[in-house]
Structure 1
C-alpha cells in the first residue's frame, strides 16, 4: 500500500495508518505467478474503516440520549412537577373552605322490601346523643387517641404519608384506604362522605389542615367520638355507652372505653354479642393494643394495666321495627351490602357500615314472602310450641336456625334466625360456632369421587366400596395407625359395609378412614371450594366428623352446590340496593364448576339413601306430604348433643335446619338432651328428629309439584338398590319410650339389623347397577371386639358430630 492509500484509510476512520506493503505483504507461495495481487493491506484498511463507522454511530447514539436526558432536564422536570403540585395545592387550599357539618343531615331511613316489592320494614330512627368532652373521663379520651392516632396531640391534623398512599391506591384502582388521623376521620364523618375518590381525598386533606388550625384538639376529639358509628345503631360515645354497657359516657371505665375505641375498627365484627370466635379473638387483641399503647404513652400505669380484665358488654336491646324475624333479615342484608361496598369501592368495613346504616337506601331482598311465612310457622308448629322453659330448664336453651336457598339462582328465599330478634340478638342462621357434625360427611365423599381417590390397596372409592365399620377402629395411613379411632353412635359395630350403607347409618369409623385415604388436605380443599369458610382450619382426621364450626347459611350453600351439579352457589339474601348517590348490583350467586358433575351427582344419589333407608327415613320418607318427591339429605348430631342438624334438598329447593344448645344466661354451649320432655334414655334431640321434621313439613308444604334429580352417575341409592352386605350384625337395643307429646322416632334403622333390601318410596331414576362391592384397604374387624347395638350416628372423644334416631339411639359410652 502506498502513501496515498494510507492517507485514504486514515480518512475513513481507521485508528492506525495501514501498514506499508513492503513490511506487511504476505510472501507469495512457491510457484505463484508474479502478477498475483497483494490483498493483506487492503483488508486491514477495510476493517479499520468499519470500526471507525461503528465508533462514530455509538458516539452519536450516546450523545443523543445524553442530550435528551441530561441531569439539568431531569432536575428541572422534577422541580417543575413539585412547583405545579404546590401551586395546585395552594389554589385548592384557597378555594376549599370548611363546609357546614352534615353528619345528622346524612341520616335517612332505609327501606327494606321483599322480593315481590312489598315493604318488609322501614328503619331510620337515629340513636345519637352528643356530649361535651368534659363529660367523658380523660382516661377514656386517651383510649381513642391510643387506638387511632397516638400523635394526635402534636400533629398537624393530617398524615401525609397515609394520604399519599391512599391517593396512589385510588389512582391505581386498589382502593385500599391509607392511614389517617383522628382529624381526618372526623372530617370524613362530619363534613364529607366515605367516597374513595381523588377529589374527596384532596378535600379531606385541605379541610383537615384548616380544621386543625381553627379548632382545638379537644374540640376535634369531641367531634370525632360524637360522630363515629359504634354498631348496634349507636352514633356517638353516649349512645354507645348505653348500647353496650347501659351506662352514661361519664361513668365509663378505662376497660370499657378501650372496648368502645376498639369497636370503631369493625363495629359489627367486634360486637361481642354477635361476634364469631374469630371476631372475639380479634377484638380482644385490639383491646389489648389500645391499653398497651396507653401505657407506652404514659397515660396508664403499667401495674393497673396488668390487673385489667376484658369488660364483656351486655346483651343489646331491640331496636323498634326489628322485632320477630325482621331484624335477622335486615342484619344479613346489611352485612352483604357492606361486603359488596368494600369490594367495589375499596373502603374499610367500618366505613362501609357507616355508609349503610340509616343512609336512605332502598334495599330489595330475595326473600319470598310466602316461603318466609311458611318457615316461621313450621318452626313454631314443629318445635317452639313444644318448648316450656318453666317446666324444663333445658327448653330455654334450645335455639333454632334455618336457611332456604334456590339452588339454580342462589337466592335465599327464607330464613329463620331465632324466636325473636328482640329476645335473641345472635342470628342462628348465620352463626358459625356450632359443629355441623355428620352433615360434613358428604363433603368427604365428594372429595373422594372428584379426585378419583383410591383406598390404600388401590381400589377406587365408590358408593359400593366396602369399609370396616367397627366402632373405634383405629384409622391407618399405609399400615401406620394415625391415633384416631372414633366410636360409632352407641358404639355400634357394622363389620364390612358399603360406603352407601355407611352414609345411610352415618358410621364414623368408615368416614374417618376414608378421610385418610382421600387425604385431609384434599378434603378441606373441596370443603372450601363448596363454600365452607376453611380459613384457619387444620386438615386433621377429626374434621371428618364435622368438628369445625359452620352455619346453616354455609351448609345450605354447600348442599346447593351439590344440588347444582357442582357449580358453586353462594347464598345471597340481597337482590339490589340503591340510594340517591349510587346503585349497588350484586354479583351472580352462581359461579363456575368447583367439583365435577359426576362427583356432585354421585353424592346426591348416595344422599337419597339417607332419606329412604337411613337416619332420616321416619321424618322425611314417611311424611304424608311427600307425594313421591325425590329427596337427598343428611342428618347430624354433635357429641354431647350440643347441636342437631338436617340439611336436605330437592331439585328445586335446599334447606338447612340446625338446633343449638345455648345456655339462656351465660350463652355457653350446652346440651339439648331432654328438651321437649324426651326421656333420659336417650333423651337426645338428633338430626333425624326435630330438624328433619321441620325440614319436611316446610319443604313439602311449599313445593310446587314433585320433581326428580337429573343425575349423571351410575352410583348411589338413586340409581341402584340400597343393599347391605350379608355380614353378621348384632341385635339392637330395644327402643326407648317417650311421652305422648314427643315426636316420633327419626329412624328405625338403628333398632333392627338393616334389611338386605329396603324399598324406596321413590323409584330410581336409572336402572340398577350391577357393579359389585369393592373391598377397601381397611383391615378386617377385630374379632376380640364385642359388637354393640346396631345403631347409626356419631360420637367421639374429640367432640365432633354425630347423628341418629331421636328416640332409639343412646349416648355412646366410650370416650
Structure 2
C-alpha cells in the first residue's frame, strides 16, 4: 500500500469515527429528553408567570365615558368629554341577537373556551418578535382584557400578560360580564367607543333598538373600523365588509342563534352618513354648564361628573330655545356693529325663561357663544337688577300692611309725593333720588309710580315699610344676594342678581306668591348613582292677594308705561324695566300667565380683565334702557314661544286689598288683621321739593341727558321726553352717575 492509499484509509476511518460520535450525541432519547425538559421549563416559567401576574385595576381610559345631555323631548343636545365618546350600558339592554352577532363574528367558541386562543397568541408573539406587527386571532376575553386592563402596545410582555390575565378573568368572571365589558370598551370607528356610542354613530339609535342585521354590521366592522366604514370605504372595502357581515350571520345560523329562513330575508343595513358630534359651541355650552352647576348643588361632585356616564335630560324646550336665540339675533345682534363700534363690542345679552307653574327653565341665552364668551350672561351675578326690584318693595308693603308717613295703608291707589330729588322722610340715612329726566310728578298714585318708575315714590316706600322688612321679603322671593345694605337706595336694585334669579322672583309673582325656583335638570341618570331633581315650586312666600296686586300694577307698565315696547294684543303681560348704575345694565323682566322671562343687556369692557362699562350709544340708540332692546327681545321671543299668542288671562284675586294671609313661609311678620285702605288715600306728610345741597348726600344720583321718545308729563299731557327711568347711586357716588328705569 502506497502513501496515498494509506492517507485515504486514515480519512475513511476518521469519517466513520465522526459519524458515530454525532449519532451518539443526537440520539432519540436525548432529543426527547431535551424537548420534555424545555416543556417542563416552559411550564414552570408559565406557572411562575401565572402566580406573579395579578389581574390589575381597570385602566382609566376604559372607564371614561361621555355625559349625554338631551333636550326635554329626548333629542340629543351634546356629549361631553371629547377624549372618549362612550356611554356604558348593561348587557341586558343589548338585544340577544346582537350579542350573538358579536360572538359569531369574533369568537364562536366564546361560551365554551377557557378565554384564550393559544395558537393565536403564539402567532401574535412570533409576529411581534419578527416585527410583523398586529395579528388577529385573540378571543373576546383577550380583547376585553387588552382594552379594559392593559394597553394597545405591541410587545411580547403585553401579549404574555394578556394570556395570563385572560385565563384568570375567565375563571373568575361570568361570560356575560366579559361580553358586556367587551362591547362597552371596543372601538368601532367614527370616534365611538362602546356599543351605545356606535349605535348612535352608525344608525342614530340607542343600542337597545339595534336589530340583528345592524348588530351584524357593527360586529363585522370591528375587524377594520376605518376600512369597513361604509361612508368612507373603497369598493373593495365595501365588498369585504359585506362578506364579513354575511359570514357573521352564517355563523349565527351554524350556532343555532338565527333561523336560516330569517337569514335569507336579510339585506345589508347601509349605515347613516356620519355626523359631527355636538360640541359646546353656541348656546350648548351654556346649557350644559347650567345643568352641571345644578347637579353640583344637588351633591354631584366634579369627580363624579368627570368620570362620565350620566344621561342628563334638561327641561329646555327645543323650539323655545331656538326662538330665544332667533329673537336675540333679530332684535339685537342684527343691529350691532361689533367690529367697528367700541360700544357695540361691549354689549352682552342674557336671558332666562321659566314655566311659572313648574319652575322649569325652558330656554336660556348665555351670550354670543360659549366658546367665544365663556361667562354665561344668563347666570352671572355681577350686575344689579336695578328697578326690576321695585315690585318687591310694593310686595313687601302689601305683605306687612305698611302705611305711609300719614298712616294711610299702602295700596295701588295710595298717593305719594313724586317730587324729583325729594329727601326721604323717616330715615336715619339721607337719600334724595332724582327721577328720570329730573321730572317731578304731582301726587302720583302707587300704580302711576310703577308705570313711570318714579324713584322718589319707591325710595319713600322702602322707608315706610322698613328696609329690613323689604330685604326679608326679597330674599324669601328668591333674590340671592344676602349681603346688600338695608338702606333706602335698595329700592333701585343695588344688590346683585342674574336673569336666572330674577326670572324666578317674577315667576313667584306669576304663580300667585308660591315660591318658584328655576330648575334646568329634568332627570339625571347613572348606572351607579342617582340625583334627586330640584322641586321647582315651593310654599307660599307672599300671599296671593299681595302677588296678584303687584301683577295688576305691572300689567299697566306693559300697557302704557315704561315697558310698552312689549305690549301686544296677542297675550296678557305684566313686567318691569330697569337700567342700572351708569347705564351699565338694562333689564326687562315680565311674564304672561304661561311664561316668565328675564332679559338683560350688560356693558362689559373688551379689555383684559373685563369690567363694567356704559351701554349708552348701543346701536346708535342713545341711552340704553330696559324698555328698548330688552323689551323688544322679550316681546319677539314670547310671541314665538307662545305660538303667535295666547288666550290665557291673569286670574287675579284680592287686588288692592290690604289684608295678607300669613303663613309660616311668609318672610316678614304680618299683622293678623289690617284695615282696608281709605277711599281717599292721603299724601305723605312731608314732600319737600328742594334739591340736595351742593355737597351731595351719600346716595344722591342725578339725571343724564335724555333722548327723545313719547312720554307723559306729570299733568298727563304728551311730551317728547323719554320714558321715565329710575336712577340710583350707591354711597359715595357723585351726582350724575346713572339713570335707572
Give TM class, smaller chain. Answer: 0.5 to 0.7
Residues 200-221 of structure 1 show CA distances to partners (whole Å, capped at 9, x for unaligned) of xxxxxxxxxxxxxxxxxxxxxx
- Distance of 1:659 and 1:778 partners within structure 2: 39
Task: Kindly indicate whether the alpha-carbon contact (under 8 Å) linking 1:505 and 1:615 is maintained by their aligned counterparts in 2.
Answer: yes
Q: Secondary structure at the match of 1:606?
A: helix
Residue 18 of structure 2: aligned partner: none
Residue 711 of structure 1: aligned partner: 652
Instruction: Give 1:632-647 correspondences, 5 Å limit.
Output: 632-647=574-589
Assess, with a 3 A threshold, how the Cα gap between structure 1 residues 121 and 778 changes in structure 2: closer, same or farther.
farther
Q: Among residues 422, 433, 441, which one is paired with 2:371 in the alignment?
A: 422
Q: Among residues 276, 280, 290, which one is paired with 1:322 in the alignment?
A: 280
Residue 640 of structure 2: aligned partner: 701
- Distance of 2:463 and 2:507 partners within structure 1: 26
- Deviation, 1:713, is 2.3
- Distance of 2:732 and 2:60 partners within structure 1: 49
- Distance of 2:731 and 2:292 partners within structure 1: 34
Q: Among residues 496, 500, 504, which one is paired with 1:549 in the alignment?
A: 496
Residue 779 of structure 1: aligned partner: 686
TM-score w.r.t. the length of structure 2 is: 0.57
Task: Kindly indicate whether the alpha-carbon contact (under 8 Å) linking 1:474 and 1:482 is maintained by their aligned counterparts in 2.
Answer: no
Assess, with a 3 A threshold, how the Cα gap between structure 1 residues 454 and 504 changes in structure 2: closer, same or farther.
same
Task: Kindly indicate whether the alpha-carbon contact (under 8 Å) linking 1:402 and 1:655 is maintained by their aligned counterparts in 2.
Answer: yes
Q: Secondary structure at the match of 2:501?
A: helix
Instruction: Give 1:751-770 correspondences, 5 Å limit.
Output: none
Residue 108 of structure 1: aligned partner: 65
- Distance of 1:640 and 1:494 partners within structure 2: 23
Instruction: Give 1:42-441 correspondences, 5 Å limit.
Output: 100=57, 103-126=60-83, 321-341=279-299, 352-441=301-390
- Distance of 2:329 and 2:550 partners within structure 1: 32
- Deviation, 1:800, is 12
- Distance of 2:732 and 2:654 partners within structure 1: 31
Assess, with a 3 A threshold, how the Cα gap between structure 1 residues 797 and 577 changes in structure 2: closer, same or farther.
closer
Assess, with a 3 A threshold, how the Cα gap between structure 1 residues 575 and 583 changes in structure 2: closer, same or farther.
same
TM-score w.r.t. the length of structure 1 is: 0.52
Residue 671 of structure 1: aligned partner: 614
- Distance of 1:358 and 1:369 partners within structure 2: 27
Q: Among residues 566, 569, 572, which one is paired with 1:620 in the alignment?
A: 566
Assess, with a 3 A threshold, how the Cα gap between structure 1 residues 813 and 408 changes in structure 2: closer, same or farther.
closer
Assess, with a 3 A threshold, how the Cα gap between structure 1 residues 811 and 773 changes in structure 2: closer, same or farther.
farther
- Distance of 2:337 and 2:655 partners within structure 1: 48
Assess, with a 3 A threshold, how the Cα gap between structure 1 residues 98 and 336 changes in structure 2: closer, same or farther.
farther
- Deviation, 1:547, is 1.1
- RMSD (Å) for aligned C-alpha atoms: 2.9
- Distance of 1:799 and 1:401 partners within structure 2: 28
Q: Secondary structure at the match of 2:555?
A: helix
Task: Kindly indicate whether the alpha-carbon contact (under 8 Å) linking 2:450 and 2:554 is maintained by their aligned counterparts in 1.
Answer: yes
Q: Does residue 568 in structure 1 map to residue 481 in structure 2?
A: no
Task: Kindly indicate whether the alpha-carbon contact (under 8 Å) linking 1:438 and 1:794 is maintained by their aligned counterparts in 2.
Answer: yes
Task: Kindly indicate whether the alpha-carbon contact (under 8 Å) linking 2:356 and 2:511 is maintained by their aligned counterparts in 1.
Answer: yes
Residues 776-808 of structure 1 show CA distances to partners (whole Å, capped at 9, x for unaligned) of 43513437899997851112332899xxxxxxx
Q: How many matched pairs?
A: 449
Residue 506 of structure 1: aligned partner: 453
Task: Kindly indicate whether the alpha-carbon contact (under 8 Å) linking 1:475 and 1:485 is maintained by their aligned counterparts in 2.
Answer: yes
Assess, with a 3 A threshold, how the Cα gap between structure 1 residues 481 and 782 changes in structure 2: closer, same or farther.
farther
Q: Secondary structure at the match of 1:465?
A: coil
- Distance of 1:587 and 1:427 partners within structure 2: 21
- Distance of 1:437 and 1:409 partners within structure 2: 26
Task: Kindly indicate whether the alpha-carbon contact (under 8 Å) linking 1:437 and 1:800 is maintained by their aligned counterparts in 2.
Answer: no
- Distance of 2:653 and 2:436 partners within structure 1: 33
- With 785-794 and 382-391 compared, the bigger mean Cα shift is at 785-794
Task: Kindly indicate whether the alpha-carbon contact (under 8 Å) linking 2:412 and 2:445 is maintained by their aligned counterparts in 1.
Answer: yes
- Distance of 1:469 and 1:522 partners within structure 2: 23
- Deviation, 1:491, is 1.1
- Deviation, 1:612, is 1.1
Task: Kindly indicate whether the alpha-carbon contact (under 8 Å) linking 1:638 and 1:800 is maintained by their aligned counterparts in 2.
Answer: no
Q: Secondary structure at the match of 2:612?
A: coil
Task: Kindly indicate whether the alpha-carbon contact (under 8 Å) linking 2:348 and 2:603 is maintained by their aligned counterparts in 1.
Answer: yes
Structure having the higher Rg: 2
- Distance of 1:689 and 1:388 partners within structure 2: 17
Residue 573 of structure 2: aligned partner: 631
Structure 1: give runs of 5+ residues left out of the alignment.
1-96, 128-190, 192-318, 343-351, 717-768, 802-809
- Distance of 2:652 and 2:56 partners within structure 1: 64
Assess, with a 3 A threshold, how the Cα gap between structure 1 residues 456 and 362 changes in structure 2: closer, same or farther.
same
Q: Among residues 709, 729, 732, which one is paired with 1:797 in the alignment?
A: 729
- Distance of 1:800 and 1:502 partners within structure 2: 27
Task: Kindly indicate whether the alpha-carbon contact (under 8 Å) linking 2:417 and 2:443 is maintained by their aligned counterparts in 1.
Answer: yes
Q: Secondary structure at the match of 2:353?
A: strand
Q: Among residues 425, 430, 451, which one is paired with 1:476 in the alignment?
A: 425
- Distance of 1:484 and 1:710 partners within structure 2: 37
Residues 411-443 of structure 1 show CA distances to partners (whole Å, capped at 9, x for unaligned) of 000000001111100000000101100000000
Q: Secondary structure at the match of 1:497?
A: coil
Residue 584 of structure 1: aligned partner: 531
Residue 241 of structure 1: aligned partner: none
- Distance of 1:552 and 1:360 partners within structure 2: 31
